[in-house]
A and B are shown apart, each in its own frame.
Chain A
């Protein structure tokens, strides 16, 4: 009798779980989207994957570590660690070092219009036609550096982003009475 009751109970629970699996099915792979949302979308490939999305996929599959994204830096690693519930760790130096975001600027005098940089740009932020000088759309440039190596005349430089009043940030006050540096 008790065996019968147990079977009934388990069957009931099984149906419930099965129903829940269908009813609350999550579309897509949310963890990849969540990881992708945390990544800086520089698409620079410094993580050894061809873009942020592939890196997110690799992290989700357990094929890559969370400390391979130099543009995201320590803050990005902390956010990933938080998201995935793992320990944060320092940035892997093999992937690069954390630097301020720059934008590519093409010296239009020198540019020969070879189109190589256009093909290299992961976010289509370079405009230009063959044999005509090219230019970078500053607001779309992620500062990934990928256009630098292909340029045969080395006319592309990385320059700091001009500070604007609109994006000026107030200082954060010191948090009171932290442990004094010993």
Chain B
């Protein structure tokens, strides 16, 4: 199969997969507590369906999707709801957000679920609703509700290629690799479901060429499956080839239009972990309550992959890996290139959590001593979006945000390549994250001030109109007065008043 090359990237990034990849996936025991932030996905937060004190079962829906772009949440084990309050969430802001906390009872009683003997008997809209009800979101990290990607009926579009993203390009992370090594057959079943739903001509399962043994297990599963439309492909190991846009370019040579989605060019791209969740939901009838997480770094005693209930606090995860080593220095959710550091380990892991990296001092640098930009252009050569980071940096640091936006700031995928190659050690990506978020706030404020201006002007117009109307009325009255002799008018008024008085006295009598 012909492959293409995206611009730049880091071909020689240290992979650090060996730490965690050798041990098989271990199914983690039930933790004492499960914490579910209501927003674990892109879109609206879910609405709780339970009250404090309610008993819940494993697989029971505890929060429902609110609006189209949202996803329900299911309990990971049986127990009692102990709180519906704000809890620290895994987010770089360090904010708290509404969450459901469940004290587990250790029984792990399961709500009834019905496996599906033949998914081909179901209509596409039924399958979409199963996937939506199962709370499945993109497990590669974006956490976009999967059902929307697969809902092909409501839109006039044609999907010809389904891409299964098994290219785990971030260093340290090996959860998708372990999944494909151990459960490739079930992933293949999931691909069948997706092909059936999308009506796509072909499915390409892509992994990096640094894991040949995984490729062998995929090939075995593909051969066993026998569907000629499904191909396994090895692609060069170049960070960030697992980025959706970069993977699409690598496999098809096409580029997702700026601001668009892959479906615009007839492609749907889905992470292999998500495919596994789809298989579990459609064929086994189980909602998304657990996922595979890599717990790694020099800060944990036994780095490995765990199949964990979503909502498990991170400290419990680390305990399952025999606890911290003395080198534990930084707690990172996600990989070292695009993850974010957490303040403490009481934060739960969520649907999008693919890795917990407990980094030692030398694995995760602290503040870099930045020097001035020397315009060497290495950042531009490394940028997989073919941007000019040094120019974006120039405008971001001087807060000329509109200019940065014109230079396509929002096409930056924040992969961190420019940061790593920069000889001046400038935190470029942080500048871009700042500029993007500041632009969003700025646009919001602009919107508010536009609304205020509009309302102020409308009010001015209304006041002026009222005044004019009042003036018009009094002018008319005056004119009326003038047209009749004043005396007559006064006399008429006196007569009227007399009459009224008379009437009223009559009435009283």
Contacts and interface: CB of A to CB of B under 8 A. Distances in A.
Direct contact of A and B (CB under 8 A): yes
Interface of A: 36, 39-43, 51-53, 122-125, 139-140, 142, 163, 165-177
A124 B455 contact: yes
Interface residues of B, number: 35
B440 A167 contact: yes
Contacts of A168: 93, 95, 437
A163 B449 CA distance: 18
Contacts, number: 82
B474 interface: no
B456 A169 contact: no
B444 A173 contact: no
Contact of A36 (B91, B427, B436, B453): B453
Given A170-B92, A173-B434, A123 B444 contact: no
A125 B453 CA distance: 12
Interface in B431-453: 431, 433-434, 436-438, 440-441, 444, 448-453
A171 B455 contact: no
B458 interface: yes
B372 interface: yes
Q: Is the interface of A mostly helix, strand, loop or mixed?
A: loop
- Which residue among A163, A176, A177 has the maximum number of chain B CB atoms within 10 Å of its CB? A176
Given A43-B456, A177-B372, 7 more contacts: A36-B453, A39-B449, A123-B452, A139-B451, A165-B39, A170-B92, A170-B437
Contacts of B444: 167
Contacts of B424: 176
B433 A123 contact: no
A127 to B, nearest CB: 13
Nearest to B428: A173
Interface in B446-491: 448-453, 455-460
Contacts of A176: 370-372, 424, 426
A123 B456 contact: yes
Interface string B367-401: 00011100000000000000000000000010000
A169 B438 CA distance: 6
Shortest 10 CB-CB distances between A and B: which pairs?
A: A176-B370, A41-B449, A41-B452, A123-B455, A170-B433, A169-B437, A172-B434, A170-B434, A173-B427, A168-B93
Interface of B: 39, 91-93, 95, 97, 370-372, 397, 424, 426-427, 430-431, 433-434, 436-438, 440-441, 444, 448-453, 455-460
B459 A123 contact: yes
B389 to A, nearest CB: 14
Contact of A140 (B91, B430, B452): B452
Q: Is the interface of B mostly helix, strand, loop or mixed?
A: helix
Contacts of B434: 169-173
A41 B450 contact: yes
Contact of A165 (B95, B397, B451): B95
Nearest to B396: A172
Contacts of B371: 176-177
Contact of A122 (B440, B450, B456): B456
Nearest to A164: B95
B16 to A, nearest CB: 26
Contacts of A166: 440
A52 B430 contact: no
22 contacts: A36-B453, A39-B449, A41-B449, A51-B460, A52-B456, A53-B453, A53-B457, A122-B459, A123-B455, A123-B456, A124-B459, A139-B448, A165-B39, A167-B444, A168-B93, A168-B437, A169-B437, A169-B441, A170-B92, A172-B431, A173-B427, A176-B371
A130 to B, nearest CB: 17
Nearest to B369: A176
B438 A41 contact: no
B458 A124 contact: yes
A132 B78 CA distance: 48
Contacts of B95: 163, 165, 168
A53 B371 CA distance: 44
Given A163-B95, A165-B91, A176-B370, A171 B456 contact: no
A174 B450 contact: no
Contacts of A140: 451-452, 455
B441 A167 contact: yes
A60 to B, nearest CB: 16
Contact of B452 (A43, A163, A171): A43
Contacts of B431: 172-173
Nearest to A38: B449
